[in-house]
A and B are shown apart, each in its own frame.
Chain A
Amino acid sequence: MSGRILGLAWRNLWRNPRRTLIAMSAIGFGYAMLLFVACLMAGLRQQMIETGTSLVLSDIEVHAPGYYPKRSIHQTLGGRQGTNVGTLLAAIAADPRIDAASPRVYAYGLVSATTQSAGAEILGVVPNQEQKVTVLQTRIVKGSYLTERMPKGILIGDRFATTIGVGLGSEIIVLTEAADGSMGNDLYTVVGIFHTGLDAIDRGLVLMSLASLQELLRLPPVRIHEVGIKLHNITEATTVAAALGAQLGKTLPVRVRAWPELVPELADYVQFNRGVTFILFVIFFMLVIIGIVNTMLMAVIERTRELGMLMAVGMRPVHVVSLILAEAVGLAAASLVLGGVIGAPLLWYLQVHGLNLGGVGDEVSLAGVVVGHHWYGQQDFSAYSQAALGLAVTALVSALYPALRAARFRPAEALRKV
C-alpha cells in the first residue's frame, strides 16, 4: 500500500508541474542559501579558533598548578626543582592524538631601544619545536623566525617595532626581574618582525630562544613554565586535556587546560556563532512552512472532487493523510536535491576561493578576528544534514493541516464540487 501511495504522490506532484517547480525552486534556493551561510559561519568559526589558538597559544597547555593566569616566573613545572623536560615531552607525545608539543618560558619585562622603551611579554621557545605547534613563522613580514644559530636573536611585532622605533638588525635591551631577584638584562638583535593583525600580539609580545630567556631569568634548563600542545584534531581538545591531566598528574603536579578554558571568550564566540546559524535555520524553516502549506492546501482544494472520488471508492481517511504527507515529503526531497545541486558549486567556491571582501590596505576583521581579504568557508556537513532533516520534518508538519482537511472531506459533498 505504502509503495503505491508514494508512487501516486509522486505522480500527483507532477500533475501541476509549474506549481511544483515554483515551490521546489523557492525551497531549493532557500536550502542552497542555508548551505552557503552555514559554510561561511563554519569558516568564521574555524578561522577564529585558528587565529585564537595557533598563533601563540596552542590547542592545549600544561602548567604548574597556580601558574596560570598570573604567570609568576617562580611557578615552573615541577616547582623550584624543575622537571626533566625531555621526559615530560616524551610522556606527552605518547598520546597518539597529540601531534606536537613545545616547551615555553614566559616573562614580563621592559624592552628598550636607545631612547624608547615599552613593556612586553617575553616568550622563550625552542624554535624548531615551537614551529610544529604554532604558525607564527608564517606571519613574518621582515627577516626570519628564530634560529638556533642566533641565540641572541629576538622576534618582535610590527607595532612594537614602531613603538620603540627599531627595525630589522637593531639592537635592543631586555630588562626584567630574574628569579633570584636580580635585574636580568641583556642585549639582543632583532632577527624578524611579525604581523598577525591581532593588536595585543603585534604590540606586546617578543620571542627569543628558550635557553636565552632562561639565562636572562637565571632559571636552570629544567625549569619551564608551559608546554604547548598541538592536536591532530582540535575538536578533541577538552577530552585529551582531561586524559593528559590524569596521566601526567601521576608523577608531576600539573594543570592541563584546553583552549576553551584558556580563551573563554573564544569559546563563547563559537557558541554565539552556532546560535546565530541556528536562528537563521529557524527563520528559513518558517518560510518553508508557509510555502508548503500554501502549495499543499492549493493542491488539496483543487482536487476536492478527485479526493472525494477516491474516498467514495473506499480509500480510507488515513490513506488520504498519508498521500498528502507523501506529496509534501516528495516536494521537500526534490527541493533538497535541487538545493544541493545549486549549493554544491557555491560551497566548493567558498572553500577554495573564499568571499572577496575587497580592500587593499589593512586586512578585514570580523568580530575581532582577522579574516584577511578573503572570507573562506568551511564544510560543516553536520549543519547541512541537520538543515536537510529539519526541512523534511518541516515539510511533514506543514502538510499536516492540508492533509487533515482532506481527510475530513465527506465523499458525497466532495463529489458535487466542481
Chain B
Amino acid sequence: MALCVGLVLLNLGQMSNAADDQRAREIVDRVARLFISKSSISEVEMQITNENWQRNILMRIWSVGEENILVRIISPPEDAGTAVLKVGSNSWYYLPKTKRTIQMPASMTMTSWMGSHFTLDDLVKQSHLASDYFITTSFEGTRNGVAVNEYTLTPKPATVVVWGKIVLEVRQADHMPTWQRYYNEDGKPIRELTFSEYTTVKRRLIPTRLIMRPLDKAGEQTALIYKNISFDVPISEEIFSLNNLKR
C-alpha cells in the first residue's frame, strides 16, 4: 500500500516537473524573442572597451522577422556608411570606402562583430535558444531581494551550437532576463551578458542596456544600448536588397 502511494507521488512529481519544463521553455522562448517582431527599426549604440582601444559605434538596424536584417553604421566617421545585409543565411558587407559589396563567409557571423564582444548572430539570431536546448529550472527563489528563476540550457544532441551550456536568470515578476552566462564544453564560463534599464516600448517591456563581458579578459566589455526602437512599423521589402545596401 505504502509502495502504491509512493509510486503515485513519484508520478505526480514527474508530471509537475514536465509542466515546469513547459513553463520554463515558454519563458526562455519569450526572452529569446524579446527583440524580435514582425518588423522593427532601432538605433543602437555599441560602447566597446578592450585592452587596445575604446570606441562607440552607432548603428541603425532594420529587421523583418528574423530572416531579413540590415545594419548601417552611422558613426564614428571612419566606419560610417558601412552596412551589413543578411537575408536568410547569406550576408553581404558594403564598404563605402571602396564602394564595393562583398559576400561574407557564413562563419564571419559567428566571430566578433565590428571588434565588439558580440557576434552578428548574437545581435540578430537569438530565437533558437528554446528549440536548440534542453531547459531545466536550476534555481527558484530570492536573490538580492528579487524573486528570480534560473534556467540551465544544455544543447540537444543533434544541434550544432557553440556553447556547452547556457545559464539564464529571469525575474519572476515580469519574466525579464537579468543575466545570461555562456559556458564552453568543459563547463568553464566564457562570457556573461547582463541586462538592465527595462523600458516599455509599444506595450512591450524590454531591457535597453545589454553588457557582454568576456570572463577571461578582465576590464573588457561591450555595452549595447538601445537608443530608440520601434516595433511593427511598416518596412518595404526593398530595404533588404543589394541595391539598397549600396545606397
Q: Are B98 and A186 in contact (CB under 8 A)?
A: yes
Name the distance in Å between B98's Cβ and chain A's nearest Cβ.
4
Binds B, one of A37-45, A108-116, A347-355: A108-116
Contact A115-B98, Cβ < 8 Å, known A177-B115, A180-B55, A183-B114: no
Could you say which residues of chain A place their CB within 8 Å of the CB of B53? Answer: 179-181
Contact among B52, B82, B100 for A183, CB-based, below 8 A: B82
| Chain B residue nearest in CB terms to A218 | B78
Give the docked Cα–Cα distance between A175 and B76 (Å).
17
Chain B proximity mask over A181-209: 1 for CB below 8 Å, otherwise 0: 11101110000000000000000000000
Q: Are A117 and B103 in contact (CB under 8 A)?
A: yes
Give the docked Cα–Cα distance between A114 and B102 (Å).
6
Interface-centre pick from A116, A117, A180, A181 (highest chain B CB count, 10 A): A181
Could you say which residues of chain B place their CB within 8 Å of the CB of A112? Answer: 102-103
Is A346 an interface residue when CB atoms closer than 8 A count as contact? no
Give the docked Cα–Cα distance between A183 and B115 (Å).
8
Is A374 an interface residue when CB atoms closer than 8 A count as contact? no
Q: Are B98 and A110 in contact (CB under 8 A)?
A: no
Name the distance in Å between B110's Cβ and chain A's nearest Cβ.
13
| Chain A residue nearest in CB terms to B73 | A183
Q: Are B102 and A175 in contact (CB under 8 A)?
A: yes
Is B123 an interface residue when CB atoms closer than 8 A count as contact? no
Could you say which residues of chain B place their CB within 8 Å of the CB of A173? Answer: 95, 98, 100, 102
Is A74 an interface residue when CB atoms closer than 8 A count as contact? yes
Q: Using a CB-CB cutoff of 8 Å, which residues 14-57 of chain A contact chain B?
A: none
Give the docked Cα–Cα distance between A74 and B50 (Å).
12
Q: Are B114 and A187 in contact (CB under 8 A)?
A: no
Q: Are B103 and A115 in contact (CB under 8 A)?
A: yes
Could you say which residues of chain B place their CB within 8 Å of the CB of A119? Answer: 105
Contact A181-B102, Cβ < 8 Å, known A173-B95, A175-B93, A186-B97: no
Name the distance in Å between A106's Cβ and chain B's nearest Cβ.
16
Q: Which size class do A's interface residues fall under? A: 20 to 34
Interface-centre pick from B52, B55, B105, B112 (highest chain A CB count, 10 A): B52
Chain A proximity mask over B18-36: 1 for CB below 8 Å, otherwise 0: 0000000000000000000
Interface-centre pick from B79, B98, B103, B104 (highest chain A CB count, 10 A): B98
Is B108 an interface residue when CB atoms closer than 8 A count as contact? yes
Name the distance in Å between A210's Cβ and chain B's nearest Cβ.
20
Q: Are A110 and B108 in contact (CB under 8 A)?
A: yes
Give the docked Cα–Cα distance between A183 and B79 (Å).
7
Chain B proximity mask over A79-116: 1 for CB below 8 Å, otherwise 0: 00000000000000000000000000000001010111
| Chain B residue nearest in CB terms to A75 | B52
Could you say which residues of chain A place their CB within 8 Å of the CB of B193? Answer: none
Could you say which residues of chain A place their CB within 8 Å of the CB of B105? Answer: 110, 117-119
Is B71 an interface residue when CB atoms closer than 8 A count as contact? no
Contact A179-B102, Cβ < 8 Å, known A173-B95, A185-B95, A185-B97: no
Q: Are B93 and A181 in contact (CB under 8 A)?
A: no
Name the distance in Å between A342's Cβ and chain B's nearest Cβ.
60
| Chain B residue nearest in CB terms to A118 | B105
Name the distance in Å between A63's Cβ and chain B's nearest Cβ.
17
Is B130 an interface residue when CB atoms closer than 8 A count as contact? no
- In addition to A117-B104, A117-B105, 17 A-B residue pairs with Cβ atoms within 8 Å of each other are A110-B108, A114-B102, A117-B102, A117-B103, A173-B100, A177-B115, A179-B52, A180-B53, A180-B55, A181-B50, A181-B114, A182-B79, A183-B79, A183-B114, A185-B97, A186-B98, A187-B100
Residues of chain B at the chain A interface (Cβ within 8 Å): 48, 50, 52-53, 55, 76, 78-79, 82, 93, 95, 97-98, 100-105, 108, 112, 114-115
List 8 A–B pairs whose Cβ atoms lie within 8 Å, in order of A's numbering: A110-B105, A114-B101, A116-B103, A117-B104, A119-B105, A173-B98, A183-B79, A185-B97
Query: Top 8 A-B pairs ranked by shortest CB distance?
Result: A112-B102, A187-B98, A182-B78, A181-B53, A181-B115, A185-B95, A74-B52, A181-B55
